[in-house]
Amino acid sequence: MPIDRFYTESVLKNDCEFFLEEQEFHHLYRVTRTREGEQIEIVNGKGQLAEANVERIEKRKALLKITQVIESPPSSFKRILIQAIPKLNRLEMIVEKGTELGMEELWLFPGERSEKKQLPENQLDRLKTISISAMKQCGRLYLPSIVLHPPLQKWKTFPSPCYFGDLCPEAPSLFKEYQKSPHSECVFFAIGPESGFSDNEIEIFRTHHAKGIFLNENILRTDTAAIAALAILGII
């Protein structure tokens, strides 16, 4: 991935001009020290990659002109992580590495054993910033969505196929279990918080036909488990 890749939420069109502002402008002007006349790449997290010329640099923004737009279709296989809200430092790791590993959506919910039950707007904004940075770094063109959900007890329906981390000795491995039905267009994987799922939450999963699996012979931390699950699903 080139160092001169930047993000905008705008739809990208050939010959379109727009301003790059705020954090992305700071990165362009102060970090990469891009100057007028140079060419950069723009992504919008919606499958578009554009080449653009830096037409003019002002005090707090840069005028860009798009010269070429490349469209990339979305993945035919979606990996969606269902994550009981962990501590913020672990959640940030999950967002960063999950973006790099191709996670399409992150569903966050307050687990019964979650120490943190809510995420204020400023923390959600920070998670999005982390995800944007990871997207630019790893070269992908789609930005994962981060969605807040209620506790499991309030879910009216459950997605399928759905797997959840299970410490039961009889639980099969994710690799072997998923090989039994590998043709799904979408797969959901649920991870508990630092203290794991409660007995009640495990019963909810099983009632709704989610399958308990193990990821490793050792007990993994919540962020390690999320990364391991996404990595395994990425190579099956």
Tell me, what's the pLDDT at 226?
Answer: 97
Q: What is the pLDDT of residue 31?
A: 92
- Please write down the HEC assignment for all residues of 21-41: EHHHHHHHHHHCCCCCCCEEE
**Which part of the chain has CATH 2.40.240.20?**
5-71
pTM given for the model: 0.93
Distances (CA, A) of 140 to 9, 57, 124: 15, 27, 21
Domain with CATH 3.40.1280.10 in the chain: 78-235
The whole-angstrom separation of Cα 187 and Cα 206 is: 16
Query: Domain spanning 78-235: which superfamily?
Result: SPOUT methyltransferase, trefoil knot domain (3.40.1280.10)
pLDDT in tens, the chain (236 residues): 456 799 999 999 999 999 999 999 999 999 999 999 999 999 999 999 999 999 999 999 999 999 999 999 999 899 999 999 999 999 999 999 999 999 999 999 999 999 999 999 999 999 999 999 999 999 999 999 999 999 999 999 899 899 999 988 889 998 888 777 766 789 999 999 999 999 999 999 999 999 999 999 899 999 999 999 999 998 76
In this structure, is the dihedral angle defined by the CA atoms of residues 126, 131, 132 and 134, taken in order, positive or negative?
positive
CATH superfamily for domain 5-71: Hypothetical PUA domain-like; domain 1 (2.40.240.20)
| Model pLDDT, residue 44 | 97
Centroid of chain to Cα 29? 27
